[in-house]
Amino acid sequence: MAKELIKGNETAKSESVNLEERRTKALERIADTLEDMNDWVYALEVDVWSERIEWYLNEFYMIAKAKTVGSVNRPARDAERTEPEIETNETEGDTPTA
Distance CA 71, CA 74 (A): 6
The answer for residues whose C-beta is within 8 angstroms of residue 94's C-beta and 6 or more apart is 88
The dihedrals phi and psi of 16, each to the nearest 5 degrees, come to: -65, -45
The pLDDT value given to residue 92 = 55
Tell me the average pLDDT across 59-65: 86
Q: Which of 86, 81, 83, 89 is nearest to 98 (CA)?
A: 86
The pLDDT value given to residue 49 = 79
The pLDDT value given to residue 89 = 60
The pLDDT value given to residue 14 = 86
The pLDDT value given to residue 42 = 87
Q: 67 by DSSP, 3-state: which? A: coil
Q: What is the pLDDT of residues 23-55, one digit of tens each?
A: 999 999 999 999 999 998 888 877 777 888 899
Global pTM value: 0.40
Distance CA 75, CA 73 (A): 6
